Each structure stands twice: as C-alpha cells, then as structure tokens.
Structure 1
Amino acid sequence: MSLFEYAPAPESRSIVELAPSYGLFIDGEFGEAKDTFKTINPADEQVLAEVALAGPEDVDRAVAAARRAFESWSALPGSERAKYLFRIARILQERSRELAVLESLDNGKPIKESRDVDLPLVAAHFFYYAGWADKLKYAGLGPDPRPLGVAGQVIPWNFPLLMLAWKIAPALATGNTVVLKPAETTPLSALFFADVCRQADLPPGVVNIVTGAGDTGRYLVEHPDVNKVAFTGSTEVGRQIARSVAGTGKKLTLELGGKAANIVFDDAPIDQAVEGIVNGIFFNQGHVCCAGSRLLVQESIASSLLDALKRRMATLRVGDPLDKNTDIGAINSRAQLDRITELSEIGAGEGAERWSPPCELPDRGFWFAPTIFTGVTQAHRIAREEIFGPVLSVLTFRTPAEAVEKANNTPYGLSAGIWSEKGSRILAVADQLRAGVVWANTFNKFDPTSPFGGYKESGYGREGGRHGLEAYLA
C-alpha cells in the first residue's frame, strides 16, 4: 500500500499587515515608550516587529486612564455595555482570518488550530459575557453586584488572544476597566485587539494594553490603584504575585501550571482514546497548562494502546505553522525549547525509554519532535514537573484505586481525563480526582459557559461561565 504525500498548503502572510513598530495602547491611543524590544517568528527566528517596553511611568499612565474611564463605564446600564461586547465579538469574527495568521506567526501554533479553535472561542467568550452584562443580579452573586474598579491582567504566551478574551470579556461585562499585559514573546494579537476596540468605538481608557517583560507585569500587579489582579502563567510567578498582593485588599485569581493525568481503562475505545491522547498532549505543541502530560494506562491494554499511539504519532506532521496540513508547529521560544530539551534528557538519563517518530525538523526556528517516555515511575522528574511541551510520560496501573492514587500524586490539580465505556466508572473515578476540570472520553474541550480553574499549585478562582463573573464583582 502506498501512502499519499501531502503537498504544502500555506496560508498567505499577506492577509495581515504588520507595522515595523508598535506602541503602548493607553487611553484609546497608541503612544511610544522609552525602550523597545523585538518579537520574532519562532518558526524561522525572523523579527516580526519592534514593540514598546513599558516602564513604571507608562503603567502609571495606563492605570490612571483606566481609573478615569471607570466612573463612566461602570455607570452605563448593563445593556449598553453589552452592545460594545457584542460589537467586539462581531469584529473579531469578521477579522478572524487576519488574527489567526497573526497568532500563528507570533506564537508558532499551527494555523488550523488558530483558525478553528482559538478564534471561534475568542468571539464566543465576548458573545457569552455580552449576554450576562444586563443580568448580573440574576447570576447568584448577590442582589446588588458591583464592579471592583481597575483590573490588572497578565496573560501567557500559549494562547495569547484566547487568554485575553478570558480576562477582558468578563471584566468589561461587569463594569470594570482593564490594563492588560500580554507575554513579551506574543504581544501582537493583543495590540491588534486594541485596534478592534477602537473600531468598536469602545470609550478611551476602558481597555489599555501595556507590553513588556516580567518587570512590566510586576509594576502592574503591585500598582496601588489596581483593585483586581488576574494572572495566568507559571506556578512560580503565581506564588510571587500572591505574596505581593497579600494584605493589600486586591482581589486575586491565579490560573497556573498543571500535570494532568489522562486515565485509560481496559474497556476504553482504543482508537478514540488514542485521538484523545494525541490531542491532550500534542495540541498547541503541548503548550497547554491542562495538557494530558501523564498517560495512565491499565496494564492489560498498555502494549496494544502504545502500539496504536505510535502508529498515530508517525502520521503527525511537524513544520511550518502557516501550512494548513501542519499538526505540530514551532516551540514558542528558545528558552522554552531549552527547558523541554533539558527535562527530556533528564528523563532519558533517569532510565525512562524515549521514543519519537521519524520526522525531519526545519533547519531554522525552534522545533521539538513529538516524544513519549515509557517505563516512567512517579519518582521521575518528567512525571512530576510541568514540561510544557510535546512530551508524554506513560505510566501503568492495575486497579481504579491505583489509578486515582497516581493521578492525585502531584502538587497540581488543574485537569484530568478518563476513558471508559462505563458511565458508572467514569463518575466514580471523577468524583475522587482532585482536578478542576475532568473530561470523559475526550480532552481539551472548552466552552465559554463552563468554568475553568484548578486546585493546589494550579491556582484558585475560576474563569469562564457564571463563575467567571464572581472574580470581577464586589
């Protein structure tokens, strides 16, 4: 039997116009900062644009603009705020092709994920929270819910625009104003969103975008005139933020790391489970906080499932993120590639067996082949630490009780997956897992109506759904 060869099917870069440089978006206008930095395409290491690096004075101006805008924005009837959110959602849909290309250029994720997953969810979040804007008193959060004030929001590089939507949509719907800092390696879609806000005639100062690195985020989080802090990112930085906010009266939500268990029982539909495993760990190059990075397989089917998984992995296409046939794109940065490489080498050094399908990686850019480790124990670092890349650790179990014990043996508690044909088994096991989200016979499925968040070192607070309103209301 001969295999069909896939011809390249690249999306055009000309769909989106990149400016040579971008300023800070404060009080409805773009302005310069004293310093700048460059953002690059991780697929070829070429500079995409020069971006402003916000300092303390810039953050002061952004927070002051948000504070001024808060008085009038919070006084608007919810139905009026909803009109702006609906307008933003529609513009995002109209310009989704531009944004998908921009996201893949700046982040490295495959265009089919940006186009078919990220952008539809981004618009859906704004539509969903627009619907809540005039119904807050029916959300079960008290008879007279009031906005907090200025929200300082810091988002990561793995889902730049989607994390922006998770943060900004509920904040605006509840009457708050926003200062948002995108990740330094992926600032472009947030700056594009600033233009969307202007196109939607959003009042100046309601949304402000300050770009920069960790220090910029720290200035924002520690600013005395910020009432609410929302952070998505690493557990280490989350701890620092929690310490800096403690005792200040600021409301805080943290969505941090994860080391999710994807549990496959002996009665699971194998082919369906394999697709779920692949989606759970190789989606977005494994740059997913809730990725199913620990595969727990019942011992009796481990061999047959691994054979099927390896066959499926051999069909994954790694390469140009703008090629519509690409399954796995570029790693977001050199620093992240170095961490993935280091932990993978440690895994092999500790005795786990490493396997990757034959694949030719591009000469330029940041690339890592999809990888699985077998013979993994809970003592291995690759089973305990978040790798945040396309690396899967495989462990086995014999009984449901052992599966639960191994799944919960982690400092994290963000997500989990269960594969079984028995609904009673799924419900019984899910009830024992200490994870904020448990998927049954699927993985990495998101919906704006469903709350998302974790336990333990995966943070606290929920985003999405009615629960996502609570963090922005007094």
Structure 2
Amino acid sequence: MTLQAYQMLIDGAWVDAADGARFDSVNPATGDVWATIPEATAADVNQAVRAADAALNGAWGQMTPTARGKCIARLGDLLAANSEAIGRIETTDTGKMFKETAWQATYIAEYLHFYAGAADKIQGDTLPIDKPDMFVFTNREPIGVVAAVIPWNSQMFLSAVKIGPALAAGNTIVLKASEQASAPLLEFGKLVAQAGIPDGVINIVTGGAECGRVLTSHHLVAKIAFTGGPNAARHIIRNSAENFAEVSLELGGKSPFIVFDDADIESAVNGSVAGIFGATGQSCVAGSRLYLHEDIADEFLARMISIAANIRIGDPQADDTEMGPLCTQAQLDHIEAQVALAVTEGGTILHGGKRAALDGLYYQPTIIDCPRQDMSIIDTELFGPVLAVQRFKTEDEALILANDTTHGLAAGIFTKDSARSLRMSKRIKAGIVWVNTYRAISPIAAFGGVKSSGYGREAGLQAVYAYTRPKTVWMNMSDDPIANPFKMR
C-alpha cells in the first residue's frame, strides 16, 4: 500500500515541516496507516502567522469587500464540486460514513456562499453625539490574524463557520488541523488558490499540542476560534494571555433529549436514534441523555432497542452502512471504561455495551438505563454511540434533570404542547434548543453553548461582527481652532 504524503499550506506553497518530522494517520475502519502528515515546528507556525499578517496588510487587505465576497463564493463552489473527493478522504481518515461526509461538504458550501454575500454588508453607525460641531461615526475593521483550531470531527463544517465570517470581514487565517485526522483540511486547502484567494490568506498547519501552543500564543494572532474539549480550551485561554487575543470556544456537550407523554412517538424515536447514533455519536450536539416521561418510557425504549439492534455497522465507504467506526483507539478505550463504570454504579445495559465483532474501531449502539442522576455517565461526554436513559414524571422534574449538568450546548424537546415547548425552551440552559426535530443547522442560525460548552457563537450574520473591531471616528466640523487647555498664559 502506497502511503499518501501530505504537506502543509503556508503562504500559498505546499511545504514539509522545517525539520522533516512527520506522523502517521490511521484508517479507523481497518487499522492501517494510510497517510503521513508533517509535524509543524515553531518555525513553521511562525512562518504561517507572518504570511497571514503580510496578506492582511497586502493584497487581501487592499481588496474591496465585494471582490473578497466573490473569492469566498468561488471557494464554496469548488467545495461543492469536489465534495465527493473530499468526502472519500474524510471517511478514510476519520471513519465517518461517506454518504455523510460527501453530503456535509456539499451543504457546507452554502455557509461559504452565505458569508460571501455578507462581505460587502458590514456596516458601522453614525452616532447622535450631543455636540453640534462634532460628527462621530464607527467603522468595522478586520480584527487581524485569526488562529482557528479544528477538531477531527465535522471538519468541513467547523472550518467553514470560521473561515466564512473571518474572510468576509477581511481577516486572514491560520488553520490548525487535528493531529487525529488532518487530511480532509489539507485536501480542502488545494482549492484555495483556485478560488483566486491570495497567498497567505488561508494557511494550514498540522501537528499536536506544541503546534497549537505556538499558534495560539503568537503575538501577531488577534483572535482564536477553537472547537474541542474543555481541557484543551483551558490551555487556549492561558495561551491567549500572551497576546491578549480574543477567544471564542465551541466545546463539548451532554445534550438532553426530552420526550413528553403527548409527543409523536415515532418521530421522537427517529430523532433520538439519529441524535445519538448518527456520526457514531461523534458529535458535540449528540443527544446523549434521553429523558422519557414514565407513561411512554417502556414503549419508546422497545421501539428504540429494536431499531438499534438492526443498525448496520461496517465499512463507512459502503452505501448500505448505517454506522461506522470510532475515530481513535483512545475514544474506544474511554467509552469501554465509562460503560463499565456505569454498570458498577447501577446502570442496566438495555442494548449493546461492547465492541462490535469487526476488525477496526467499532462499538455497538448502546442504551443504558440509569437509575440515578449522580452517575458518572450522566455528565461525562463519551463522544460515541452510548445513550443514558432516565425517566421523569413532571415538566419541572424534566427541567431539573436536563439542567443538572456542567454542559450547555444543545437540547431537544418533543411535545405537541406549544406552550410547554416555549416554557421549556426558555428555561433550559443551552445555546441551541430543537423542538420536535434534532441536529438541524443553517448558515443563518447561530451555533454555540453556555457553561462548560463554551462561549461565543458561530454561524449566523452576527458571527461576521465577532471577527471585527469597531473604530470610533470624531470629526470636528467647526472652523474655530480647538483651544489648548494646557497653553501657557
């Protein structure tokens, strides 16, 4: 088997690490090493940041907003046209199902198109200052060089919601691809020059913790956009003390999926199955805590177990596969340990609970009945196909259980009572609430969490303004000179 040897994108050129160091990328469906990736040095990261800074003050900074928007739109067109090829690479590198990765690359092109249209619509304000001789207004200016740290899951989406608004606002960007699966972003990088985007505007570096540390603490970085886990986020925040960069964090979740006794059971079951077993549970918004009204719990679980038992697990490249492997061995080990702990704490495995009988990093879709709220699995993100189930009697009890978590990214509510859905939506502590649906996204809708699920928002029009700084301009319209209060008399 011939290994694919990737390079990094720095200042429009494809380069190896300065010292030649590389690391392996493993196909989680087979366990085989299929590619090698550069391990960026501090010098490589510095070169990428300086290239971004030069582009900010050069060709990109001098381009009109309308022209920038056209470049972003072309990048979106190219992403859609190459979605199948990028999807194949992402499936090989991460184990996500090809039908999901290809669709995602196509749909996420819409995010770039959305922000392309926003590039020439960033506006300032005229301020009604109570000084008749003063004209005061604000401009929105690019914040500067953006460091974007991207995890391995949903790479195209998590990149697009950073690249789109950052470039629309006139910034430049250095992307750090995940060391677990870097190839899809590097494939995406091949489209940048084709879109007419000048050298240095988008740079892609690869490596581990040291690469991330150098990037996020670099003195020329003005904003850090991070998606990942809370432990890494704490390091990001500490690193930002070195450059006083603004920081936005999109972290993990342990999202409640609440089903009331008046819900459409079939719709809710399908939503829960997709919410936890879609993407093999490797989604920050996975509906991993299922709260069922006691009157419908048994029927609901019977239906869900029947579906879980028939999920086709296998080759993520195959069209008939419904659930692929986990991405890393560390994930598989973590899930096994947490499921075992749940059993010792009194949990009952209703389905699954072990590895699938396949070569590769496969784990069965798992449903665990959890009798207590203080069990570790209730508030620990597993990032896999494991569902914790609890029952409730009243709306208030469901709300207490849903909010009893350190996380606050997303929540799902299934009920036919519109007043109840509004009450619950208002009182649930989460950045996203879905009612009678789950995992719906749009470039128009903001995405982000509260509590340990992070802060700041991605997607939506307001995200563009998060990549700008306002500048206030005071203009004296009087013909009279301004008196010098410190003039010697």
The TM-score range, normalised by the shorter chain, is over 0.9
Output the TM-score relative to the length of structure 1.
Answer: 0.93
Confirm or deny that 1:109 pairs with 2:96: yes
Per-residue displacement from partner, 1:240-269 (whole Å, max 9, x unpaired)? 211221474211100001111000000000
Per-residue displacement from partner, 1:196-246 (whole Å, max 9, x unpaired)? 102212100000000111221111111111111010000111122112214
Q: Superposition pairs for residues 339-418 of structure 1, below 5 Å? A: 339-356=334-351, 361=356, 363-418=358-413
> 1:28 is aligned with what amino acid?
G
Tell whether the 8 Å contact from 1:184 to 1:213 is kept in structure 2 after alignment. yes
* Deviation for aligned residue 1:424: 1.0
> 1:108 is aligned with what amino acid?
G
Q: Please point out which of 445, 448, 451 is paired with 1:453.
A: 448
Confirm or deny that 1:25 pairs with 2:17: no
Q: Which runs of 5+ in 2 are unaligned?
A: 127-136, 470-489
Per-residue displacement from partner, 1:23-64 (whole Å, max 9, x unpaired)? 111000101112100111110011121110001010000001
Confirm or deny that 1:273 pairs with 2:268: yes
* Deviation for aligned residue 1:75: 2.7
* Deviation for aligned residue 1:447: 0.7
What is the SS of the residue equivalent to 2:295? helix
| Corresponding pairs, count | 456
What is the SS of the residue equivalent to 1:48? strand
In structure 2, distance between residues paired with 1:460 and 1:19: 39
Q: Superposition pairs for residues 217-228 of structure 1, below 5 Å? A: 217-228=212-223
* Deviation for aligned residue 1:471: 2.1
> 1:101 is aligned with what amino acid?
R
Tell whether the 8 Å contact from 2:52 to 2:172 is kept in structure 1 after alignment. yes
Q: Superposition pairs for residues 73-88 of structure 1, below 5 Å? A: 73-88=60-75
* Deviation for aligned residue 1:355: 2.8
> 1:144 is aligned with what amino acid?
N
What is the SS of the residue equivalent to 2:91? helix
In structure 2, distance between residues paired with 1:190 and 1:274: 34
Tell whether the 8 Å contact from 1:437 to 1:454 is kept in structure 2 after alignment. yes
In structure 1, distance between residues paired with 2:383 and 2:358: 22
Q: Superposition pairs for residues 292-371 of structure 1, below 5 Å? A: 292-356=287-351, 361=356, 363-371=358-366
Identity of aligned residues (%): 39
What is the SS of the residue equivalent to 1:290? coil
Confirm or deny that 1:233 pairs with 2:220: no
Partner of 1:127: 113
What is the SS of the residue equivalent to 1:196? coil
Partner of 1:250: 245
* Deviation for aligned residue 1:462: 0.1
The verdict on how the C-alpha distance between 1:43 and 1:138 changes in structure 2, with shifts beyond 3 A counting, is farther
Partner of 2:34: 48
What is the SS of the residue equivalent to 2:141? coil
> 2:308 is aligned with what amino acid?
M
Larger CA deviation: 333-342 vs 235-244? 235-244
* Deviation for aligned residue 1:364: 2.1
Partner of 1:443: 438
Tell whether the 8 Å contact from 1:383 to 1:393 is kept in structure 2 after alignment. yes
In structure 1, distance between residues paired with 2:88 and 2:125: 36
Could you say which structure has the larger radius of gyration?
2
Partner of 1:198: 193
Per-residue displacement from partner, 1:297-335 (whole Å, max 9, x unpaired)? 011111111111111112211110001111111100111
Per-residue displacement from partner, 1:362-388 (whole Å, max 9, x unpaired)? 532111100010133211001011111
Partner of 2:84: 97
* Deviation for aligned residue 1:143: 4.5
* Deviation for aligned residue 1:359: 10
Tell whether the 8 Å contact from 2:86 to 2:105 is kept in structure 1 after alignment. yes
What is the SS of the residue equivalent to 1:44? coil
In structure 2, distance between residues paired with 1:97 and 1:160: 15
Larger CA deviation: 443-452 vs 309-318? 309-318
Q: Please point out which of 50, 70, 77 is paired with 2:56.
A: 70
The verdict on how the C-alpha distance between 1:362 and 1:87 changes in structure 2, with shifts beyond 3 A counting, is farther
Tell whether the 8 Å contact from 1:108 to 1:331 is kept in structure 2 after alignment. yes
In structure 2, distance between residues paired with 1:335 and 1:264: 32
Output the TM-score relative to the length of structure 2.
Answer: 0.90
* Deviation for aligned residue 1:102: 1.0
Q: Which runs of 5+ in 1 are unaligned?
A: 1-17
What is the SS of the residue equivalent to 2:236? helix
* Deviation for aligned residue 1:186: 1.2
* Deviation for aligned residue 1:360: 8.8
Tell whether the 8 Å contact from 1:274 to 1:312 is kept in structure 2 after alignment. no
The verdict on how the C-alpha distance between 1:360 and 1:386 changes in structure 2, with shifts beyond 3 A counting, is closer
Per-residue displacement from partner, 1:394-414 (whole Å, max 9, x unpaired)? 011111111111100001110
* Deviation for aligned residue 1:283: 1.1
Q: Superposition pairs for residues 30-41 of structure 1, below 5 Å? A: 30-33=14-17, 34=19, 35-41=21-27
> 1:24 is aligned with what amino acid?
M
The verdict on how the C-alpha distance between 1:125 and 1:247 changes in structure 2, with shifts beyond 3 A counting, is same
The verdict on how the C-alpha distance between 1:358 and 1:379 changes in structure 2, with shifts beyond 3 A counting, is closer
Tell whether the 8 Å contact from 1:253 to 1:471 is kept in structure 2 after alignment. no
* Deviation for aligned residue 1:357: 5.2
